Amino acid sequence: MNRENNRLRIFKWLQAKPWLRYLLLATFCGLSSNVFAEKRVALVVGNNDYEQARLRNPVNDAVAIGEKLEAMGYETTVLKNGKRLELEAALDRYSEQVADADYALFYYAGHAIQVDGTNYLIPTDAKLAARRDIKKLIQLGDVTDEVGQAGSLGVVILDACRDNPFNAALDESLGRGLVGRGLSGSIVMGGNTLIAYATEEDAIAADGHGKHSPYTKALLEHISTPSVDVRLMFGKVRDEVIKNTGGRQRPFVYGSLGGANYFLNSKKAAPPKVALPQPIVTSNIGQPRSISNADMSRVMDMFSDLHSAIKRKDRDMIHKLTTPSEDRDKYIDYLFDNFSTIDVSLSRVRAVDEKSSIVGLITIDRLVRSNGDIGIPAKSHRTISIESKLVDDDWTQVIW
């Protein structure tokens, strides 16, 4: 009997606090999505500064792709103007990430070459004049082997069939016919792996006259479209490139997938925000008023935006959302200047009716340096208490 009475009291208490029901539901949904989240990793490389053949756009292309992938939830590493040893080190770290990943993506923009049917990626410090120099290149087959270890899907994207002077030099050394004009599509792949080329086999792709190459420009338009199968996404990229180049460039995708759907961006499109009904508040003048569903929703949006801004290392958004503070600026400088990846979580959001405020906690879960080292801050620096107060019937910036 006592147990039934306790249940009834809890039920009536929850009925009297509609914002708490909203918070419990939001917390449950957040926990569920984290428990079942897939691990997605990406290595993005853009090479401009070749000693023999400088290019215009690959670094711009790589940076933009890296930002897209990070926003899509990928643990993303971007390497700009990678020399041979830097590329090899990045691939070694990437291999460790892929070992327990569900989705693995590798993007490369820069020079590449085909020699006797084998494709190679060219580091920025490469000098090709003889057969022995080919050993200093990165064989594409090694990359696809690593990507193919992903549990669900591996994708290699090559915006790399750009015309280059290495072909002529090797032609003289190896003999004509061994060095291809573009890249070869003949490559053995295991598992659910796709290779997307900026253009068809043995053809040249344009570097572009704008900020991005024609292929990467189209890729940026479509790669983050939520819940679109990867094959359909690449089909849309192909159509756009053919249209924008007047048919001079035709992207191709090689590989074989099963009958399931594979989404590079599994996030569903956000539904339009619907204002929650605000209950009638009866409060005496000079007394703190109750916090409504609409209040809770508004502040939760601010807290979530701040959480995302820290993860994206977006200083401008952090300054917009929070009240100025010297401690805030010092801590953000420390995080952003020393770590390339910042994993954070939002928790313990609750209303404090007597103070007309809503408080929460942002926790720094994991920090990754640019060299791949992982760190966890000391307890005194691991959590950030946040608060927004109701002043003159409006909510303040987040107090850090």
Sketch the domain layout of the chain as residue ranges: 16-35+285-395, 40-255
Using CB atoms within 10 Å of the CB of residue 114, give its burial: 0 to 12 exposed, 13 to 18 middle, 19+ buried.
Answer: buried
CB atoms under 10 Å from CB of 66, counted, come to: 22
| 27-31-33-38 Cα dihedral, nearest 10 degrees | 150
Please give the structure tokens belonging to residue 205.
């792709």
CB 48 within 8 A of CB 59: yes
Residue type, 103: Y
From the list 79, 104, 63, the residue with the least C-alpha distance to 216 is 63
> What was the pLDDT predicted at 98?
94
Distance CA 251, CA 237 (A): 8
Q: Please determine, for residue 286, whether its predicted confidence score (pLDDT) is greater than 60.
A: no
Is 0.85 surpassed by the pTM of this model?
Answer: no
Q: What is the per-residue DSSP string for 67-83?
A: HHHHHTT-EEEEEES--
* Nearest one of 115, 155, 149, 147 to 132, comparing CA atoms: 115
Tell me the per-residue pLDDT of 245-259, one tens digit each, with 9 for 90 and over. 888 889 999 888 888
Tokens 């819940």 map to which residue?
227
Residue 146 clears pLDDT 70, i.e. is over it:
yes
Q: What class is the 16-35+285-395 domain?
A: alpha beta
Distance CA 261, CA 269 (A): 17
pLDDT above 60: residue 154: yes
Helix (H, G, I), strand (E, B) or coil at 145: helix
Cα–Cα distance for residue pair 27/15, rounded to 1 Å: 18
Q: From residue 398, give the alpha-carbon distance in Å to each of 23, 153, 329, 384.
A: 18, 40, 14, 11
Residue 282 pLDDT grade (very low, low, confident, very high; cuts 50, 70, 90): very low
- Whether the per-residue pLDDT at 180 is higher than 80: the answer is no
- Range 69-96 average pLDDT: 94
pLDDT score of 330:
87
Which residues have a Cβ under 8 Å from the Cβ of 136 and sit 6 or more positions away?
Answer: 84, 123, 126
Q: According to the model, what pLDDT value does residue 128 have? A: 78
As a whole-number percent, the residues of the chain with pLDDT over 90 amount to 34
pLDDT grade, residue 280 (50/70/90)?
very low
CATH architecture under which domain 40-255 falls: 3-Layer(aba) Sandwich (3.40)
Q: Which two tokens stand for residue 181?
A: 């004009």
Residues β-bridged to residue 398: 322
31-72 pLDDT tens trace = 444 434 689 999 999 999 987 778 888 999 999 999 999 999
Q: How many CA atoms lie within 13 A of 53 on its CB side?
A: 18
**Phi and psi torsions of 315, nearest 5°:** -60, -45
Judge whether residue 275 has pLDDT over 60.
no
- DSSP code of residue 294: H
Half-sphere exposure of 371 (CA within 13 A, CB side): 3
In this structure, the strands spanning 153-159 and 193-197 are: parallel
